[in-house]
Amino acid sequence: MKSSLILATFTAAILAASGCGRGHDRAATPAPAGQPVAVQVASVEPRTTPRTIEVPGTVRPVDRATLASKVMGTVDSVAITLGQRVRRGDVLLRISAAEIDARVTQAEARLEQVTRDFEREKGLLAEGASTEASVRSLESERRAAEAGVAEASTMLSYTQITAPFDGVISARPVNEGDLATPGVRLVEIEGTGRLRVETEVPESLGTIAPGTSVRVTAAGIEIAGTLAEISAAADAQSRTVFAKIDLPADAQVRSGQFARASFPAGQGEVLVVPAEAISPFGQMERVFVMEDGRAALRLVRTGARHGELIEVLSGLDAGEVVVSPVPTGLRDGQAVEVRR
């Protein structure tokens, strides 16, 4: 007796679960008592719509730079803080390099001495006490000394790290007293002007020309972007192509934010129903399909919305008729009549 009760309970549970599938797969549901509910209906229709491929990306400034030292030395002073706004040419930090200072002094002294010798030799030549060859030789030495001063002064300028454009300090992983080594990051700066989205596009998408309109969603806002750059070569491991999408100047987004970019992918046929035919069912979505004068519950998976219509990716077939809008309290298997 106990085994029979367990088997009956298990069978009932299976029948109840199958009631959420398609009409021809589910067990017959008894019609609830009462008068038929008047409903309106709509057909499941195929429609050709533009297809898109959505990929994740990151908002980045068009102007950004990672600054490093060209010479080795100790960081003498840091004149910036994280998030500080700077202008082009502002000194961000200074590096102490005594050997470069000494090289400048040596080059200037050499130029001063050669210049005196050249001027003296020119005076002697005018008096006939020197030769033109001696004067030309000293003139060459003077030009070489001038080049030495220019070289040493250029090296000295490398001890000052300046802002390459107007922007904001986005990273400053250096402090006074740190050793600055050529090629090692000292400061990162981001421009405050134009922004773009950087992303990886599947190579299967095919050829996309710069200038193509791309819809971008970031921070819950839809933005009309424009494809600015796209790599001609795909990554051999990820099978994706690097792309940059320019955003309008008034885009209300910030650097570093997550974004999604929808690239056009030609035309495709999809099934659509009125959006009001879809009703939530916990974490799922459902519709009621007309079957022999009754409303049959059907779980569906939806896609993109097109105005008052919504794509149905699975759960319905073309030509089926659904209840739209769904009356409050409508239940699976309930008798319904179509209101004209």
Torsion (CA) 132, 134, 138, 139 in degrees, nearest 10: 10
Which residue in 165, 155, 172 sits closest to 192, CA to CA?
Answer: 165
CATH of domain 68-97+159-191: 2.40.50.100
Which residue in 213, 231, 258, 229 sits closest to 62, CA to CA?
Answer: 229
Q: Rounded to the nearest 10 degrees, what angle do helices 98-126 and 132-157 cross at?
A: 160
Grouping H, G, I as helix, E, B as strand and the rest as coil, residue 5 is helix
Q: Any idea which of 48-57, 168-177, 285-294 has the lowest mean pLDDT? A: 48-57
Over 70: is that where the pLDDT of 24 sits?
no
**Domain boundaries 19-50+269-338, CATH class:** mainly beta
Q: What is the predicted pLDDT for the residue at 339?
A: 81
Q: Which residues of 217-230 are buried (b: 16+ CB within 10 A; e: fewer)?
A: ebeeeebebbbbeb
Where are the domains positioned within the chain? 19-50+269-338, 53-63+192-265, 68-97+159-191, 98-155
Looking at residue 24, its amino acid is: H
Rg (alpha carbons) of the chain, rounded to whole number: 38
Over 60: is that where the pLDDT of 22 sits?
no
User: Where does residue 67 rank: exposed (0-12), middle (13-18), buried (19+ CB within 10 A)?
Assistant: middle
Is-contact 229 243, C-beta < 8 A?
yes
Distance of CA 11 to the CA centre of its chain: 52
265 compared with 237, residue with greater pLDDT: 237
- String of DSSP letters for 283-318: TEEEEEEEETTEEEEEEEEEEEEETTEEEEEES--T
- String of DSSP letters for 130-156: S-HHHHHHHHHHHHHHHHHHHHHHHHH
User: Quick one: fold of 98-155?
Assistant: Helix Hairpins (1.10.287)
Task: Give the tens place of pLDDT for each residue, 124-176.
Answer: 888 888 888 988 999 999 999 999 999 999 999 999 999 999 999 999 999 99
Residues with Cβ within 8 Å of 252's Cβ and at least 6 positions away in sequence, in order, are 219, 221
Q: Any idea which of 183-187, 216-220, 301-305 has the lowest mean pLDDT? A: 301-305
CA pair distance 107, 143, nearest whole angstrom: 12
Q: What is the predicted pLDDT for the residue at 189?
A: 95
User: Where does residue 252 rank: exposed (0-12), middle (13-18), buried (19+ CB within 10 A)?
Assistant: exposed
- Banded pLDDT at 32 (limits 50, 70, 90): low
Model pTM greater than 0.95? Answer: no
Q: Which listed CATH number (3.40.50.720, 2.60.120.280, 2.40.30.170, 3.40.50.2300) goes with 53-63+192-265? A: 2.40.30.170
Torsion (CA) 34, 290, 10, 281 in degrees, nearest 10: -90
